[in-house]
Amino acid sequence: MMQQLLIDRFRGLFLGVAVLEAHLRERCKANVDNDAADNSEYVSPREPLGWCEAMALGQSEIIAYSTQSLNGSQVPFSVTHSPDDENGLARLIARVLPAALFYHDNLPRLEDYICDHVLEGASPSYQAEIWSIGVAIALLCKEQANPYTLIPQLLAQEFLAGTDLQGQLQQVQTQLKTQASLSVAWNEVNPEQSSTALPLKTAFAMACYCWSSTADTFALTVQRTLTLPLSPGIPALMTAALSGVSNGLPGIPLDWQTPLLTPSTSVSRASILALADRLLGAWSGYFTYETWPTSCQLEQTAVSAPGVLRPRD
């Protein structure tokens, strides 16, 4: 894994998820057009994924939480159970990704935010599954994990002991050691081949497999995840986040970014990067909007952890 500027890792995660959503939107549109041509009837497109909107919401929530917690106040945000639909769960994951970036250097605070604030009252196993995603993002953001060590470091976390996710990650690690193919790994992790929605623990385990086996190539990593059966949206979302953080902004191919550069797009590349920049600005201690640096300034400015340096006149 190449070393990246922290700003490029923040931007890489936001943009990685955004380009995946745009890719899925384009693919869905192509399928709708083909079905309409074949059936001579209009086929309505699927419900918008809304992952970028969820990340934007999560970004504003974590900034509000961090600033208001300093004043002793609380920001309401609680999900006591898993969303009923798959895309609802994907939106929840996208919503907590900014928190994984913001607290990447403080895992206890990240755990408090996810388990005690966002998922207050949820089952311990469900909390562990969402929390694992945050830990993986944090480890990659700090350059404390690579394709060979990410899963072992996750397995070393006490909160995973005795969970189903621990067993599935162990299976994935075995497949990685033997350089098993994607289909072999899939059959090992999901032997029952259920026709229902993919469990979150299985989705995360396969996301870790796809990233670990092709970590240096964003496009290949995400494309492999999209070949999984059982609606691979959630594994692809998590894989895009992992690959975006590890490869940074420079590692996301320009052709994947093209849909975000068209004038008619609802989510632009500039707006996505601005979300990442504002999050890094808040992490750096710029809690007032008017004092946040511009994108250009952020790229040329050294920052410290919040509270380390005192503000100067």
| Tokens of residue 294, six digits | 């511009």
pLDDT of residue 3: 80
What does the pLDDT look like over 121-174, one tens digit per residue? 888 999 999 999 999 999 999 999 999 999 999 999 999 999 999 999 999 999
What does the pLDDT look like over 267-295, one tens digit per residue? 899 999 999 999 999 999 876 655 455 54
What does the pLDDT look like over 202-251, one tens digit per residue? 999 999 999 999 999 999 999 999 999 877 899 999 999 999 999 999 99
Q: Helix 200-213 vs helix 124-141: angle between axes, to the nearest 10 degrees?
A: 20
Read off the pLDDT of each residue in 94-118 and give the average, rounded to a whole number.
Answer: 95
What does the pLDDT look like over 240-270, one tens digit per residue? 999 999 999 999 999 999 999 988 778 899 9
Distance CA 174, CA 185 (A): 9
Distance CA 55, CA 144 (A): 24
Mean residue pLDDT of the chain comes to: 84
In 3D space, the residue among 130, 111, 139, 125 whose CA is nearest the CA of residue 204 turns out to be 130
Give 40's DSSP letter: S
Residues 6+ apart with CB under 8 A from 31: none
Distance CA 226, CA 221 (A): 9
pLDDT of residue 299: 54
What does the pLDDT look like over 33-67, one tens digit per residue? 454 444 433 333 456 789 999 999 999 999 999 88
Read off the pLDDT of each residue in 182-200 and give the average, rounded to a whole number.
Answer: 81
How far, rounded to the nearest angstrom, does the alpha carbon of residue 17 sit from its chain's CA centroid? 7
pLDDT of residue 196: 63
Phi, psi of 264 (to 5 degrees): -85, -5
Residue 303 has pLDDT above 60, yes or no: no
